[in-house]
Structure 1
């Protein structure tokens, strides 16, 4: 008799749990809702932008009908729901799981694409979508991962419907990574680490061709070599800069390099000297020739 009571209480608990889940997801009473009804519920949440409940309903659908007609589609849409619910790590995990379970699926390229998209936004919060911030001054680890994911998509599925967007995002990411190197060079100038700054500029010129940051990379090299007293290397870099980017902000109308810093140190103004350095202190070299609509 005690065992029968325990069994009854256990069944009641399961029934109450199922009813609770159904109430939260607006499902029909009882846990026996059909697969099609569960899938339509998930679609309703997706269309309405309620991604938290969409995630719950898709997970419930998969757990109840793991081999049903909507199981694979639910797994794909779960990636999308996680991403739009700002659960980027969960979106990547869901994408990896789909790729592992369905490597030959006709829409597996979507999973690769979403991995790249989620990797890029992994360090972004809700407010980042509304408050502009300079992403080039953040850690670029996620951007590099995202670039690699998009590259993998293009290598595996060059004819994918997501290929064009992936290529555009890779261009954007490459520009961002190049600009990050210039930001680091500017920081090194402030610290007086001229060799380190110059090396960053040369790295951009050698490895990020056809990005807007190349012009600043050359300017960094000119300034760095000048500060280190390497006039021949500075002149060579200046010649390349003036030939290819004559409108760069570091050049005057005659193609001469404009700088308050030379190998002898900062060029102090009369006011700076009279105030013993308290006013009009020359700023360390800093280069940022991004166009206003750069978007990164």
Structure 2
């Protein structure tokens, strides 16, 4: 083949490939969308359960229109979308970002509440949702984080509409944290680490008063003292246990709080969907 023909073939092939690249390129359908349209579409995807698509649209909204009420609300909604997409770390990061950027926002209490809910459910596996399990036997790390988040909400925003639910969850979480300590104490007792068992039980009695776990902690304490040969201390603990049981002073085990309806989000109060 003559060199001129080869050159022509190469040029035509290059043009063909370039054409494929141009015509095959997928455009961004959201190009030119207003902040209101981006927000409306993202919210619709969120309600429909298309969480990743909602996140994508919220992030585009924040990038293109970083100022204004739509970008502000997108911060909260993207946190919720990550939570529903089972991405707790991303959800917590988004909620923290909102709190940092808008500390005086009238809806910042929701961000704290959402953080608590995220951590509250973070330790619950798919199997836990199918088969009810003892929540006090899970890793207490997430429960402790949730308790702290709810405590901040209740302390800073005592009149928040989320405060009462947060208080109920704190009662439930506190009891679970106490029972987790009792489980550890029982483990030590079973392994023959009687002093460690007694110390754990005493910790529950001293730091988790007014929880149902105190009853169990006293039983462990009595068994540990008897195993250690401290019969006088065991008798004292038995007397305390009997007196409190007879007087009905031990708190009943709290029922798990109901799942909150987080679909009633703040954007409804802001009426952003009316534009």
TM bucket (normalised to shorter chain) is: 0.7 to 0.9
Aligned residues: 240
Q: In structure 1, what is the Cα distance between the partners aligned to 2:26 and 2:104? A: 37
1:18–1:69: structure 2 CA closer, same or farther, 3 Å change rule? Answer: farther
1:188 to partner: Cα distance: 0.7
Q: Match for residue 32 of structure 1?
A: 32
Q: Is the 8 A contact 1:78 1:94 kept in 2?
A: yes
Deviations 1:106-164 (A, max 9, x none): 10111111111112223334443333232222221121111111111111111111100
Q: Match for residue 160 of structure 1?
A: 160
1:82 to partner: Cα distance: 1.0
Q: In structure 2, what is the Cα distance between the partners aligned to 1:156 and 1:194? A: 42
Q: In structure 2, what is the Cα distance between the partners aligned to 1:189 and 1:247? A: 28
Q: Match for residue 73 of structure 2?
A: 73
Q: In structure 1, what is the Cα distance between the partners aligned to 2:112 and 2:256? A: 24
1:295 to partner: Cα distance: 4.4
Q: Is the 8 A contact 1:86 1:126 kept in 2?
A: no
Q: In structure 2, what is the Cα distance between the partners aligned to 1:226 and 1:240? A: 15
Q: How does 1:1-296 map to 2 (within 5 A)?
A: 16=25, 18-19=27-28, 22=29, 31-246=31-246, 294-295=255-256
1:208–1:69: structure 2 CA closer, same or farther, 3 Å change rule? Answer: closer
Q: In structure 1, what is the Cα distance between the partners aligned to 2:90 and 2:83? A: 8
Q: Is the 8 A contact 2:189 2:220 kept in 1?
A: no
Q: Match for residue 278 of structure 1?
A: none
Q: In structure 1, what is the Cα distance between the partners aligned to 2:163 and 2:255? A: 22
Q: In structure 1, what is the Cα distance between the partners aligned to 2:98 and 2:34? A: 23
Deviations 1:222-275 (A, max 9, x none): 111111111111111001111111499xxxxxxxxxxxxxxxxxxxxxxxxxxx
Q: In structure 2, what is the Cα distance between the partners aligned to 1:233 and 1:69? A: 63
Gapped regions of structure 2 (runs ≥ 5): 1-17, 258-275
Q: In structure 2, what is the Cα distance between the partners aligned to 1:181 and 1:209? A: 13
Q: Is the 8 A contact 2:185 2:201 kept in 1?
A: yes
1:92–1:215: structure 2 CA closer, same or farther, 3 Å change rule? Answer: same
Which structure is richer in relative contact order (CA contacts within 8 A, separation 6 or more)? Answer: 2
Q: In structure 1, what is the Cα distance between the partners aligned to 2:129 and 2:61? A: 31
1:209 to partner: Cα distance: 0.7
Q: In structure 2, what is the Cα distance between the partners aligned to 1:131 and 1:60? A: 39
Q: In structure 1, what is the Cα distance between the partners aligned to 2:129 and 2:60? A: 30
1:69–1:53: structure 2 CA closer, same or farther, 3 Å change rule? Answer: same
Q: CA RMSD in A?
A: 2.8
1:68–1:127: structure 2 CA closer, same or farther, 3 Å change rule? Answer: farther
**Structure 2 length-normalised TM:** 0.79
Q: Which structure carries more helix by proportion?
A: 2
Q: Is the 8 A contact 2:123 2:138 kept in 1?
A: no
Q: In structure 2, what is the Cα distance between the partners aligned to 1:183 and 1:66? A: 49
Q: Judge which range, 92-101 or 145-154, deviates more.
A: 145-154
Q: In structure 1, what is the Cα distance between the partners aligned to 2:57 and 2:125? A: 24
